[in-house]
Amino acid sequence: MDEALDPRWRTVGDPDADALVERLSDSPRWHSALRGSARNGDRPGIPELAQFFGDHARLPTDARADVLARATQWCDAHLSYLSIGMLCGSLPLLFLGAEGAAVLTGTGELVARVDARINRTGAFVLDVTERGGCGPAGRALRAASEVRLIHALVRRSHADKASGTDATPICQQDMVTTLFAFAVMPVRCARRLGVNVTAREAQDHYALWRSLGPALGVRPDLLPESVDDADPLLDALVEANAAPSEAGRALAAALLEGIARHLAVPGRTEAAAWIVRYLIGERLATILSIPDVDSKVRRTWSRLAGGAAVRRLIPLLGRDLHRMIVRHKLRYSSNNS
């Protein structure tokens, strides 16, 4: 369980994907093949890419079709809560590591175009969680492999930048943390917001994301089999790398502004700050400089948390976010078909 905490994994990237990106670096516009709308069995016209997807856009041998089917069925029934968990819980966790936050701000995209970044992340989550997403007609495995190559492109672009650290951008430890942020954190958030998630449902959801680990470039030996082991490991990974940083604060501020923009409730700025603080905890929220909220507002929302009022509100907020992501997916798929 503790293997992923070994500091050496902060210096290891993804050798297979990194080598492919290096080989293709002189090929014009090869990354335009990373369209984000291809299906698992589709193969691009570039032989090296076709070989890579054939080798890597597939499930591990221990993946069980019945477990994946149960997981996607559960996700379909709880998309509103999972969307809010992703937006207000998972993404803030990923801003806590100073090195990772610096890489994210280096792209310039999340701070400048927060909705676009949320849309792309959300579209990937929908590819993973849709029914049949890992099957021949689905997109989950292909989308994961494309994300893997995009990460390799980011590593290559940062290779010559002096950072004052030996850490590799989007290293194995960061990739494990990111996977757990989507495999573990949304279930935590759903529970915090009043959803009764059984132990089997939590394990199924984790198993779905764990099965995508190899396609994403994560070493399988760093991923425990049980969500009961992954849950505390997520906390340990976050604690190992959490530190106040200008980049993390900038990312959190941009995200908070985006969340508030999509909350159709009175006092939406304070509501956005409250829900992030409630889902990730006061101490971590303070590291990101998430504004504290008025004590009266905090008491009111805390009393509502997990109650009938929040259970009515969250699906409304989640559906608005979900509609925005789906509209983006449809528009993007149409433009790239």
- Predicted confidence at residue 123, as pLDDT, reads 84
- Predicted confidence at residue 111, as pLDDT, reads 53
Q: Identify whether the C-beta of residue 174 lies closer than 8 Å to the C-beta of residue 5.
A: no
- Predicted confidence at residue 200, as pLDDT, reads 98
Q: Which residues contact 215 (CB under 8 A, 6 or more apart)?
A: 56, 57, 58, 141, 144, 145, 148
- Predicted confidence at residue 37, as pLDDT, reads 75
- Predicted confidence at residue 330, as pLDDT, reads 47
- Predicted confidence at residue 332, as pLDDT, reads 47
Rg (CA), the chain: 19
- DSSP annotation string for 60-114: -TT--HHHHHHHHHHHHHTHHHHHHHIIIIIHHHHTSBHHHHHHHHHH-HHHH-H
DSSP state of 242: B
d(CA 225, CA 190): 22
Could you list the pLDDT tens digit for every one of the 337 residues in the chain?
A: 589 999 999 999 999 999 999 999 888 778 888 877 789 999 888 999 999 999 999 999 999 999 999 999 999 888 888 888 998 999 999 999 988 888 877 665 555 566 677 778 888 888 999 999 999 999 999 999 999 999 999 999 887 554 556 779 999 999 999 999 999 999 999 998 888 999 999 999 999 999 999 999 999 999 999 999 999 999 999 999 999 999 999 999 999 988 887 765 556 788 889 889 989 999 999 999 999 887 766 666 666 555 555 555 565 555 555 555 555 444 444 455 4
Q: Where are the domains positioned within the chain? A: 2-335
